[in-house]
Amino acid sequence: MDYFVIRGGKPLQGRVAISGAKNAALPILAASLLTSETLRVSNVPHLNDVTTMIELLGALGVEAAVDESGVLCISAEHLNSRRAPYELVKTMRASILVMGPLLARFGRAEVSFPGGCAIGSRPVDLHLKGFEAMGAQIDVRDGYIVATTEDGLRGCDFTFETVTVGGTENLLMAAALADGETILRNVAREPEITDLVKFLRSMGAVISGDDSDTLTIQGVSTLHSCQYTVMPDRIEAGTYLVAAAATRGCITVDGADAEHLGLVLDKLREAGVDVQVEGTCIKADMRGKRPRAVNITTAPYPGFPTDMQAQFTALNLFADGVARITETIFENRLIHAQEMSRMGANIAIDGHSVIIQGQEEVRGAPVMASDLRASASLVIAGLAAQGETRVDRIYHIDRGYERIEEKLQSVGADIVRKMR
């Protein structure tokens, strides 16, 4: 397994180009199942999770190829299966997103029950409740969820008990081809949901309510081809901005959307970072100063994103003051705290929170990644720490960050990937 060797203590300086958003690209790729016509999708990031989704779609019979201009052309005209196999689903939970489109277009979907993962049990009960409300029959056989509908999905008025990004996306895609009107209430409002809404609309779907907590969909009989460009990755952008702050440097991210990073930029400013926005460029300049401690409580969008929690934990290790960071979305997303303790950080877990007493100096150490954003936080900690940090199991980070060591090297980081 690959690992990173990082020699920290150097302020990062320079510019980083932001890639397409993983969490928008994955549902958009799944939505290709909704039509027999070819779709052309640009700005799809080169990530392991995207490769896994394309493999999964390929197992269903979808054809995908990148043309000479780098556009992903994808066609679900000739499908030969309705079954998402365990071997692929177990590696990526977002595989569940093929269920809605398969059920809506073909009346049948078989998806291996997605297991939990390091950050929590991550059930899909709300996805299934929504499909049942649309008239689907749900059975679980041999570890597979089998969803069927005899006479097609019908529109319904469905309220999510808790806000779920994937649940919102799955039901939104199913409703696009359902018979009649569907109202989805208490939906997730993440920008990636709005990107999916825009993509479906460009395929001919009739949807209103984007950016609100209620989506209304008028089902149509067929959807058609379209060309679409995936939104920039707000979490990748936020990660590099935090890395600038933690190393007391200055990074400008290019091709980002500051509107998607409201609270993240507010928290960086609260930590004493000089944040400037100019079009799609966001500059974070720590001016060589020590950051101030900032408290964080995660919440569904537009609240503070859970996917930026670990990165701000890393920032607080070096900050002036005491910080409390509370995770409210996932039940086990504080694993990185134990790894940071190995670096001599003064960090303690208190229920669903971590309490951090910032220190002027933290020493590098061998640490192990446990999930995607925890990996990023350990890289940030290593970049800001004195001495050498080795980050093991970086296959986690390759799932969600395109060429991260190259992008970091381009802003002065001493980081190399080693093959064991």
Binding-site members for UDP-N-acetyl-alpha-D-glucosamine are 93, 122-126, 307, 329
If you write DSSP's letter for every residue of 237-271 in order, what string do you get? HHHHHHHHHHTT-EEEEES--GGGGHHHHHHHHHT
Rounded distance between C-alpha atoms, residue 35 and residue 224, angstroms: 6
Percent helix, strand, coil in the chain, to 5, is 35, 30, 35
Residues across the chain: 420
Phi, psi of 399 (to 5 degrees): -70, -30
Q: How far is CA 243 from the centre of its chain?
A: 18
Considering only residues 345, 372, 379, 394, which one is a binding residue for ligand EPZ as defined by CB under 6 A? Answer: 372
Of residues 133 and 365, the one with the C-beta less far from ligand EPZ: 133
Going by the annotation, the residues of the binding site for phosphoenolpyruvate are 22-23
Least gap, CB of 139 to ligand EPZ (angstroms): 17
Q: Contact with ligand EPZ (CB under 6 A): which of 12, 243, 282, 329?
A: 329
Half-sphere exposure of 260 (CA within 13 A, CB side): 26
CB of 67 to ligand EPZ, least distance (A): 25
- Tell me, yes or no, if 156 is annotated catalytic: no
In whole angstroms, the minimum distance from the beta carbon of 50 to ligand EPZ comes to 11
Name the residue whose CB lies closest to ligand EPZ.
Answer: 166
Q: Name the token pair of 222.
A: 């067929």
User: Given CA atoms 101, 169, 159, 326 in this order, what sign does their dihedral have?
Assistant: positive
Binding map of ligand EPZ across residues 104-143, x = CB under 6 A, - = no contact: ----------------x-xxxxxx----------------
CB of 248 to ligand EPZ, least distance (A): 26
Judged by CB under 6 A, the stretch of 78-86, 158-166, 285-293, 317-325 that binds ligand EPZ is 158-166
Parallel/antiparallel/unpaired status of strands 83-84 and 108-112: parallel
Stretch that binds ligand EPZ, among 73-81, 160-168, 246-254, 260-268 (CB under 6 A): 160-168
Asked if residue 12 binds ligand EPZ (CB under 6 A), the reply is no
**Binding residues with ligand EPZ: total (CB under 6 A):** 25
Q: How far apart are CA 159 and CA 9, in angstroms?
A: 49
Least distance to ligand EPZ, CB of residue 151, Å: 25
Binding to ligand EPZ by CB under 6 A, coded x per residue (else -) over 44-83, reads ----------------------------------------
Candidates 307, 327, 402, 405; binder of ligand EPZ (CB under 6 A) is 307
DSSP string for residues in 52-79: HHHHHHHHHT-EEEE-TTSPEEEE-SS-
Q: Which residue has the tokens 């500059």?
A: 283
**Judged by CB under 6 A, does residue 310 bind ligand EPZ?**
no
d(Cα 393, Cα 370) in Å, to the nearest integer? 8
Closest to 249 measured CA to CA, from 274, 276, 277, 281? 274
Q: Burial level of 65, CB count in 10 A (0-12/13-18/19+)?
A: exposed
CA proximity to 55, closest of 28, 29, 24, 19: 29
Token pair of 91, please?
A: 């590696």
DSSP 218-231: E--S-----EEEPP
Residue 271 in tokens: 């930590």
**161's tokens:** 């008990």
Site string for ligand EPZ, 178-217 (x = CB under 6 A): ----------x-----------------------------
Q: Does 240 bind ligand EPZ (CB under 6 A)?
A: no
Distance in angstroms (rounded) separating the CA atoms of residues 307 and 309 = 6
165 near ligand EPZ, rule: CB under 6 A:
yes
Piece of the chain touching ligand EPZ by CB under 6 A; list 1-9, 18-26, 132-140, 151-159:
18-26
Q: CB of 233: closest distance to ligand EPZ in angstroms?
A: 9
Number of C-beta neighbours around residue 137 at 10 A: 12
* Part of the chain binding ligand EPZ (CB under 6 A), chosen from 163-171, 209-217, 244-252, 402-410: 163-171
* Residue 402 makes contact with ligand EPZ by CB under 6 A: no
For ligand EPZ, the closer of residues 94 and 268 by Cβ is 94
* Only segment of 29-37, 161-169, 172-180, 214-222 that touches ligand EPZ (CB under 6 A): 161-169
Contact residues for ligand EPZ (CB under 6 A)?
A: 22-23, 26, 93-94, 120, 122-127, 162, 164-167, 188, 306-307, 329-330, 372-373, 400
Supply the residues annotated as catalytic. 117
